[in-house]
Amino acid sequence: SMLESHGHTVITTRIDDTYYSLSYRTNKANRYNCDYFISLHMNSFSNRNARGCEVWVYDKSSRLYNTSQSVCDSLSKALNTPNRGVKVSKSFTVLKKSKMPAMLVEIDFISNSIVEDVCSSYDYCYVVAKNICNALLNM
């Protein structure tokens, strides 16, 4: 809704906890000829102390590379979590199969009890959305 309030059209692939395959998600974005594909995730690790935001892109030449750095920097500061940086992967389906520039945002580690306790609160979700929105608007 934040992006839409600035005149942007937003197509979502999920609005609830229903699982859709990664191919379904990228196919939908490709079918709608989206400008960008932003995939939001919560990371997980066996070490329950793990924390941090990271953003993945297909390669460093992506039009979203600098924006990914902004997203990572702003989320790290706003959520007071370590900045794990922007990383490159050619193996993530959503990065590989989307026809448009894409980023995969790992907001923080849901396996961390501190993050798990707050990540579904309105305030937490608002901070995440606001920081990602601002980075996208400032491209």
What one-letter code names the amino acid at 21?
A: S
Domain assignments of the chain as residue spans, ordered by start: 4-137
Q: How many Cβ atoms sit within 10 Å of the Cβ of residue 100?
A: 15
For residues 50, 137, 133 and 39, what is the CA-based torsion angle, rounded to 10 degrees?
Answer: -60
Q: Rounded to 10 degrees, what is the CA torsion of 68, 36, 41, 97?
A: -110
User: What pLDDT sits at residue 99?
Assistant: 96
Q: So what's the pLDDT on residue 15?
A: 86
For the whole model, what pTM was predicted? Answer: 0.94
pLDDT per position in the chain (139 positions), as tens? Answer: 999 999 999 999 988 889 999 999 999 999 999 999 999 999 999 999 999 999 999 999 999 999 999 999 999 999 999 999 999 999 999 999 999 999 999 999 999 999 999 999 999 999 999 999 999 999 8
- Beta bridge mates, 109: 43
Question: What are the residues whose beta carbons fall under 8 Å from the beta carbon of 85, sequence distance 6 or more?
Answer: 54, 55, 72
- Which of 55, 108, 57 is closest to 82 using CA atoms? 108
CATH superfamily of 4-137: Zn-dependent exopeptidases (3.40.630.40)
